[in-house]
């Protein structure tokens, strides 16, 4: 009997915490199912000339069985995901993990099944996002004025950055990585692990620890593939996904301190905001929060606040 082929796609370097979790997922499937499954990890589709934004479409079309991808990619199909895009709404990792493992995650997963051709296998932790730029230190919103910032493919993120004074330019990671050394972007935002893994720190001297967004990553699976697998394979996939999610979150929690230790003070200036400086950023984006509190079901905010 031919093995069940499970192709898993990502968009980062092999050493990234995402790909390490994906590798664990594959190992556990092999340990549980043996020759019944053939697991293939395509860890960086950018190397194939594809963009990170291609991953959900590759899963939905059946080209891939699974992928990991930022939750912002699903906000149009599942508007409730906008909750996870809001600035300064997540302050505590353990609380958001608990919410995503509980009622909030169940709701988001159900809506994913309703509105896409895929299902959620797990919610990963893509870290708190911080600002970096090549022009000047950023201590207050006024320092952002006029800087061209690469943003994720999120209209909501664009609104937030415009409130801070940036000129947002939405771009896939593929374009961003290819053009980071040029003049297209003055600034960007990412968790520290991505600032290092995408080599941003070699081009942006100034890194400001704003923690303005919390990044959720969805472990996304083709629903038709999943339903075609025998029950014992589905059970093995679910169990391996839970273990991969737990590992990914542990790595993400430890990663911030590890990444901070890797920055060379001769190359990078790390800006820790004083309480009053941080509060100025929170105040500056309040109009965006007020707008989306009228759009998103208010019950959802209770899971995070």
Confidence at residue 256, expressed as pLDDT on a 0 to 100 scale:
87
Span 162-173, pLDDT tens digits: 999 999 999 998
Cβ 60 vs Cβ 117: under 8 Å: yes
Provide the percentage of residues in the chain whose pLDDT is more than 70: 100
Give 136: exposed, middle or buried? Use CB within 10 Å, 0-12, 13-18, 19+.
middle
Mean residue pLDDT of the chain comes to 96
User: Which domains does the chain show, CATH number per domain?
Assistant: 4-297 (3.40.190.170)
Q: How confident is the model at residue 248 (pLDDT cuts 50, 70, 90)?
A: very high
Element (H, E) at 77: none
Rounded distance, CA 150 to CA 129, Å?
13
Ramachandran quadrant class, 211 (left: phi over 0; alpha: psi -120 to 50; beta: rest)? left
Find the angle CA(221)-CA(189)-CA(249) to the nearest 5 degrees.
45
Residue 133: pLDDT over 90: yes
Cβ 177 vs Cβ 46: under 8 Å: yes
Span 172-185, pLDDT tens digits: 989 988 999 999 99
Confidence at residue 257, expressed as pLDDT on a 0 to 100 scale:
87
Report the SS3 class of residue 165: coil
Q: Which two tokens stand for residue 60?
A: 């939905």
Confidence at residue 1, expressed as pLDDT on a 0 to 100 scale:
75
């Amino acid at each position: 009997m031919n093995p069940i082929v499970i192709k898993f796609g990502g968009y980062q370097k092999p050493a990234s915490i995402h790909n390490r979790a994906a590798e664990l997922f594959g190992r556990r499937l092999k340990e549980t199912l043996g020759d019944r499954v053939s697991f293939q990890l395509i860890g960086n589709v950018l190397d194939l000339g594809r963009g990170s934004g291609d991953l959900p479409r590759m899963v939905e079309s059946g080209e891939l069985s699974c992928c990991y991808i930022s939750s912002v990619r699903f906000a149009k199909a599942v508007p409730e995901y906008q909750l996870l895009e809001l600035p300064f709404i997540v302050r505590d990792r353990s609380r958001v993990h608990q919410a995503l493992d509980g009622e909030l995650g169940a709701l988001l997963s159900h809506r994913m099944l309703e509105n896409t051709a895929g299902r959620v296998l797990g919610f990963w932790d893509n870290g708190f996002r911080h600002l970096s730029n090549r022009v000047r230190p950023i201590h207050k919103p006024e320092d952002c004025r006029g800087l061209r910032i690469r943003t994720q493919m999120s209209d909501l993120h664009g609104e937030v950055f415009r409130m801070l004074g940036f000129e947002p330019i939405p771009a896939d990671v593929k374009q961003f990585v290819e053009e980071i050394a040029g003049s297209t972007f003055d600034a960007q935002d990412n968790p520290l692990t991505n600032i290092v893994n995408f080599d941003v720190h070699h081009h942006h001297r100034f890194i400001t620890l704003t923690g303005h967004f919390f990044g959720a990553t969805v472990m996304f699976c083709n629903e038709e593939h999943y339903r075609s697998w025998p029950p014992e394979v589905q059970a093995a996939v679910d169990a391996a996904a839970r273990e991969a999610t737990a590992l990914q979150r542990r790595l993400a929690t430890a990663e911030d301190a590890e990444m901070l230790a890797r920055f060379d003070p001769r190359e990078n200036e790390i800006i820790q905001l004083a309480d009053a400086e941080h509060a100025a950023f929170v105040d500056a984006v309040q109009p965006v929060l007020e707008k989306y509190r009228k759009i998103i079901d208010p019950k959802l905010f209770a899971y995070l606040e």
